[in-house]
Structure 1
Amino acid sequence: MSIAVFTGAGISTSVGIPDFRGPDGVWTKHPEQTDVYDYDLFISNRQAREYSWRWQKESAVWNAQPGPAHKALVELENAGVLSIIATQNFDGLHERAGNSAEKISNLHGTIASSHCLNCGAAYNTADIMSTLDDTPAPRCSLCHGILKTDVTYFGEQLPEGALEKGALGISQADELWVIGSSLEVYPAASLVPYAAQLGKRIRIINAQPTGMDELAKASDIIREPIEIVLPQLVHDVIEDN
């Protein structure tokens, strides 16, 4: 048995990071805040850059710790059952929980690191955040280029190789578990119909219906809290494997 996992913001809500598109999601309540991750606006407007950096500095990501659902996926890897975690999340909680980098595809990048859009120099985002009061629109210390977190903004390409890594892991698995995603954001969400085309069993664990529920059997659609149901599901799979 081999399991591929596709995670969205819903896996992290129980540890204090709000999702984006759920009933109480950040963008559901404040649709104007999608501008935070608008790439064209970010590079063309200094005020937009300041707002984006300030918004990310205040994100709950920085104080969140991995929860039971994240830790369950570590158990899945340790049992030799995990093929890949293709995640839309940029919070780094899968890594911090203990999953290995080779088993993770960060489809939408990571907030932990940043880079210069001009020369490509790499930065630790936490270091940049510590200087935002003095430099609200940070620039590269080498070439004075614009600095940006490695989160994938709207209008940007996915990180090189991320989608392909996720697809490879899915192709090598027997099942795909979709956990905490509305499956509305492409091209990341295209991995789910890809799994269906390959004949993989699909389980969807999400509080709300998704546009791809028809790809799973009714018995494989779970609406219970992720932090409760996922550890039990992992336990059952490991016991049966």
Structure 2
Amino acid sequence: MKTITGLAEARNYVAQFKRGAYHRIVALTGAGISTESGIPDFRSPGGIWSKRQPVQYQDFVRSEESRLEDWDRRFEMQDFFQKAEPNAAHLALTSLATNGYMRCLVTQNVDGLHQKAGFPDDRLIEIHGNSTFATCLSCGARAELEDQRQTVETGRSPNCVKCGGLLKAAVISFGQQMPEAALQNAAAAAQECDLFLVLGSSLVVHPAAQLPALAAEAGAELVILNGEETPLDSYASTVIRTPLAQTFAEFHEE
């Protein structure tokens, strides 16, 4: 395993990705790609989850008090998400996809920054959902968060205008079933890629943490770009420790 800690060497290394060295790239992104866009890592000490415990899915379904607590948190997070802009790492992944080198991007993030960066929807798998809009738990209809703010401020949790079901941010909550089809698609992509990139994930949250191992065991090269050690570093051919946005800052330059 090679470890890169210098920014110049890291930039030189990632430049090969845009030159067609690989044609079936799959990437996994975690909180570390978005912290450089100003979005806090909610799991870290001092983050929102250390101050306000996440609402369990079953509590959301059965308790109005829990629903209001969850909606209040969603509006707090929405303020971060609306202000944040994609950084150079988000844009580099979009470039790899639009140029035909990246087959699939799997993200643990719920902030919508990959969409803001223009990443193709048909190659994006959000395995933890998306916190920038809501869906109905009964009929699946989409609803915008901001449209629910007035209702929440009156002390009521919002309901679907189509069927009357409970509205909830489209993020996967603790205790809520993971999207099985999305997980299967992510696993299949990992096993078919020639390069698997990990960007800003600690690789401790499953099932996403299993994907790099699946790729490596199927013969893909694994490159991990993360500021701290991960449990899968030993699977990687190269580990890069430099900040992601700075690492990809010159990616579009020749």
Do they fold alike, i.e. is TM over 0.5? Answer: yes
Q: Aligned equivalents of 2:195 and 2:219: distance in 1? A: 9
Aligned residue for 2:239? 221
Identify unmatched segments of 5+ residues in structure 2: 1-21
- Deviation for aligned residue 1:165: 2.0
Q: Aligned equivalents of 1:172 and 1:57: distance in 2? A: 39
Aligned residue for 1:165? 185
Q: Aligned equivalents of 2:156 and 2:37: distance in 1? A: 28
Q: Aligned equivalents of 1:40 and 1:22: distance in 2? A: 24
Equivalent residue for 1:153, pick from 157, 168, 173: 173
Equivalent residue for 2:89, pick from 69, 72, 85: 69
Alpha carbons of structure 1 residues 134 and 150: separation in structure 2 relative to 1, 3 Å: same
Does the 8 A contact of 2:134 with 2:168 survive in 1? yes
Alpha carbons of structure 1 residues 22 and 235: separation in structure 2 relative to 1, 3 Å: farther
Aligned residue for 1:126? 146
Does the 8 A contact of 1:35 with 1:41 survive in 2? no
Does the 8 A contact of 1:50 with 1:137 survive in 2? yes
Q: Aligned equivalents of 2:114 and 2:239: distance in 1? A: 23
Aligned residue for 1:54? 72
Secondary structure of 1:127's counterpart equals helix
Percent identity reads: 38
Q: TM-score of the superposition, structure 1-length normalised?
A: 0.86
Q: Deviations over 1:130-161 (max 9, x none)?
A: 54323542122344322111101111122242
Equivalent residue for 1:86, pick from 106, 110, 115: 106
Aligned residue for 1:16? 38
Q: Aligned equivalents of 1:171 and 1:97: distance in 2? A: 26
Higher relative contact order (CA 8 A, sep 6+): 2
The one-letter code of the counterpart of 1:52 is: D
Total equivalences in the alignment: 230
What CA RMSD, in Å, does the superposition of the two structures yield over aligned residues? Answer: 2.1
Q: Deviations over 1:174-223 (max 9, x none)?
A: 11111111112112222121112212111111112112222113xx1111
Q: Deviations over 1:39-76 (max 9, x none)?
A: 12211222111111111101111221111111111111
Q: TM-score of the superposition, structure 2-length normalised?
A: 0.82
Q: Aligned equivalents of 1:216 and 1:67: distance in 2? A: 25
Q: Aligned equivalents of 1:209 and 1:12: distance in 2? A: 18
Correspondence list, 1:126-205, <5 A: 126-129=146-149, 131-205=151-225
The one-letter code of the counterpart of 2:52 is: Q
